[in-house]
A and B are shown apart, each in its own frame.
Chain A
Amino acid sequence: MTDVTHHMPEPKIVTSAELDTLAPSPRELMRRRARSHAGLIIGMTIIALFLIVAIFAGVLAPHDPYAQTLSNRLADPIWGPKGNWQHILGTDALGRDVLSRLMYGARLSLYISFTAAVIAAVIGVTLGVTGGYFGGKTDAFVVYIINVKLALPVFLVALSIAAITGGTVTVLILLLGFLTWDRYAIVTRSLTQQMRDQEFILSSLAAGASHLRIIFRDILPNLMNHIIIIVSLDMAVIILIEAALSFLGLGIRPPTPSWGLMVSEARAVMFFKPHLIMIPGIAIFILVMAINMAGDGIRDVTAPEGRG
């Protein structure tokens, strides 16, 4: 900055627009990094498309995802020999329109993964910040809970509980929320520890702010970027776990359109209708990849030091 003023011939009044070009604000720098980050843009665009499909599935879906037409079972997709525009992706073994089921499946996947990730974030961040901020015995206890959680075989526990309770959407959301909070706790704990002794916290303390106020006013806002990154990574993991649970017959129950369930239902015909397992699998793959790309992108843009 001093350099820039030094080279200026004589002092003159600078407009705010010119100031921006002289010294871009951190926010502007971030915006520039975001605009040139291909992964972030691609990821975000794909997520936006899936979101639109999920929200407007009722309008966009060409057919009722539950409507069976037994006379038109296993119809070819548009690229197949007998494909037609009536059922662009063909029909499944019960004559249901695959495209419509796929669209409603997007709604289910995004809904479950987002709500479960938020539950996990609330649990994990509460534990992590408490341990990191107060330290000592409190912290030791938090670390101990995290260790217990890490030792629990997540997938087996989820399978068992889903089998006992019967997998409704609410049960799955709670289950996945309570089983995936560890990453939030680990990251926010160490970040809070690093922040605790910094001057802005100490000055708040000196000014007489309560611990709760410091946590909500000073610490949480600084953790937000990191939390958003973990939410995205966690959503990707949850989508995969939900799909696997449903695939094994213990997650979402038929006839609800879930991608994992669609793969599972197509297993019986996979050797002569491979597209029926390909299509929902590719949907999971693309959505999870987009979420991960967006998560990586947000990290590169907001906290470039944490790239890995």
Chain B
Amino acid sequence: MTHFLTRRLLIALLVAFTVSIVGFALLRLSGDLAAVLAGEDASAEDIARIARQYGLDRPFYVQYFDWLFNALRGDLGNSLFTHESVWEMITSRLGVTVTLAFASLFFGLLIAIPLGVLAAVRANTWVDRGSLFVAVMGQATPNFWLALILIYVFGVWWRGATVLGVRLAEIKIFGVQLSGLPISGGDSWLHFVMPVITLATFVMPAVMRITRTGMMEVLSSDYVRTARAKGLSPTKVLFKHSLRNAILPVVSLAAVQLGFLMSGSVIVESIFALNGVGYLAFQSIIRIDFPVVQSILVILACSYILLTLFADMINAKLDPRVRLE
């Protein structure tokens, strides 16, 4: 186990280091940052002045190591536009994004895992086909579009609509009036409802499919047949013997999805005006505020690496075969 752990940790560190170089390089080498910052009508002197001011005239590796050593000391530099510390800009907004990502993952799993299990147990029936259809639909829905539809439905249509004589605006779910759902910005948990629906729809399909595949495999295995033959109750076979093994790939996928959700939050936060890291990333990208952009990029990459490392450790704990590989 220790051998497995140190090996994984070393690889993770190496990957993190490489990703930080790649992320840094992509921003520097895809265009002349100083020229973009200076604008279209800038003279050559202006561009040179800006390059000097931001240290962009130095060789690439000097810029990188300068940034890296400062970053390791916890100094990510300052924003070119607000002059605030990048570290503070990011950490003050991290809560919103992390809440959004975890809530979306949670609700995505809450729907997808039972649906996947059900599809596997009732394989090749209308239940199976129905849940596959839901997955295909979820996969095909552009999340920026879903977000706008939600805003339209709850913001406009719902207020005036009646179904069978009941005014929809008066319907309450868990004491919350749906028509009262805020469609943008704010701190209360209500502001997270629509963003979470949007992102959970994005999480669901892949999780559902992988749960179904895993369950199908496990259900047709010898040990499950033995467990059934012993006369164990179907529920016990399903939950104690099958799900535990089928859930392994879901753990890895969930970690990957969490990483995607951080990226997906760029769109959702921008549409719903949630002041999180995603929205900050979007604003900074538009303003070519590269100290902020490169820091967010590297932080997201590192959090992805940490998450997959964590998932590997959970898998190693659940399944000895992983450890011995």
For the complex, is B19 an interface residue (Cβ under 8 Å from A)?
Answer: yes
The residue on B at minimum CB distance from A178 is B26
User: Smallest CB-CB separation from A140: which chain B residue?
Assistant: B11
Interface majority SS (helix, strand, loop, mixed), chain A: helix
Contact of B139 with A by CB under 8 A: yes
Q: CB within 8 A of A243: which of B14, B22, B142, B155?
A: B142
> Distance in Å from the Cβ of B259 to the closest Cβ of chain A?
7
A308 vs B151: C-alpha distance in the bound complex, in angstroms? 33
Question: Is the pair B152, A155 in contact by a Cβ cutoff of 8 Å?
Answer: no
B283 smallest CB distance to A (angstroms): 11
Contacts of B148 in A (CB 8 A): 263, 267, 270, 277, 281
Query: Which of A96-104, A124-132, A159-167, A218-226 lies at the interface with chain B?
Result: A159-167
CB of B42 within 8 A of chain A? no
Pair B301/A244 contact, Cβ less than 8 Å = no
Distance A148 CA – B298 CA, assembled complex (angstroms): 12
- Which of B83-91, B227-235, B264-272, B316-324 participates in binding chain A? B264-272
Report if A250 contacts B (CB, 8 A). yes
Q: Which residue of A lies closest to B287 (CB)?
A: A163
Cα distance A159–B286 in the bound complex, in angstroms: 9
Per the 8 Å Cβ criterion, residues 232-265 of A in contact with B are 236, 240, 243-244, 247-250, 260, 263
Q: Is B156's beta carbon under 8 Å from chain A?
A: yes
B15 touches A147 (CB 8 A): yes
Contact B259 A153 (CB under 8 A): yes
Chain A residues near B15 (CB, 8 Å)? 144, 147-148, 151
Residues 249-286 (chain B) with a chain A CB within 8 angstroms: 256, 259, 262-264, 266-267, 270, 281-282, 285-286
Contacts of B22 in A (CB 8 A): 148, 152
Given contacts A284-B142, A284-B145, A308-B212, contact A151 B305 (CB under 8 A): yes
- The residues of B that contact A271 with a CB separation of less than 8 Å are 152, 155-156
Q: Choose one: A156, A247, A281; the contact of B300 (CB below 8 Å).
A: A156
Residues of B within 8 A of A147 (CB): 11, 15
Q: Secondary structure at chain B's binding surface: helix, strand, loop or mixed?
A: helix
Specify which of A164, A165, A271, A307 lies most central, judged by the most chain B CB atoms within 10 Å of its CB. Answer: A164
Q: Given A148-B22, A152-B23, A285-B141, A164 and B30 touching (CB < 8 A)?
A: yes
By a CB distance below 8 angstroms, the chain A residues around B285 are 156, 159-160, 163, 250
4 tightest A-B contacts by CB? A308-B213, A289-B140, A281-B145, A288-B140
Binding site for B on A (CB under 8 A): 144, 147-148, 150-157, 159-161, 163-165, 236, 240, 243-244, 247-250, 260, 263, 267, 270-271, 274, 277-278, 281, 284-286, 288-289, 292-293, 296, 307-308
Q: Apart from A153-B300, A160-B285, what are 13 other A-B pairs with CB-CB below 8 Å?
A: A153-B301, A159-B282, A161-B30, A164-B30, A164-B33, A164-B288, A236-B139, A236-B140, A244-B142, A263-B145, A293-B136, A308-B212, A308-B213
Interface pairs (17), CB distance under 8 Å: A144-B15, A150-B256, A156-B263, A156-B296, A160-B27, A160-B285, A161-B26, A163-B288, A164-B36, A165-B30, A165-B31, A236-B140, A240-B142, A247-B144, A260-B144, A270-B152, A293-B136
